[in-house]
Amino acid sequence: MAKSAKKKTASKSAKSTKKTAAKKTAKKKSSGRKPNAAFMAPVTPSAALAEVVGAKPLPRTELTKKLWVYIKKNNLQDPKNKRMIKADDALRPIFGKPQVNMFEMTKLVNKHVKA
């Protein structure tokens, strides 16, 4: 009897793993998030911000991407604490101080865009 009990539990666990794997793939396919329209609306950067990302209106997501490309290209992240961003001559008018936190940067950049 002990042998048949082991076989039953083994087959049950194999079936349950197949079911959970099928459920996980089904969830991934059905959970299609739509992007927020507010993020996709083009915004116009101020003159100071336009020096870094360009003067053409672009969505906030693209503006943030271009800003990060500029920061990484010019090596403006603090090497010890990557969350801190050093302001160079182009970013100092936007930030208003020599160094900002990356989360604070978003708030400061929002002051330099027009919807």
CATH number of 94's domain: 1.10.245.10
- Structurally, how many domains does the chain consist of? 1
Above 60 in pLDDT, residue 9?
no
pLDDT (mean) for 82-98: 89
What pTM was estimated for this model as a whole?
0.63
CA-wise closest residue to 21 among 13, 11, 10, 32: 13
What is the band of 111 on the pLDDT scale with cuts at 50, 70, 90? confident
Please check the confidence at residue 104 and state whether its pLDDT lies above 80: yes
The predicted model gives 54-61 an average pLDDT of 88
Strands 99-101 and 113-114: unpaired
- Would residue 33 count as lying in a domain? no
The answer as to whether 25 is a domain residue is no
At residue 18 the predicted structure's pLDDT band, cuts being 50, 70 and 90, is: low
Domain presence at residue 106 = yes
Its domain, for residue 57, covers 44-114
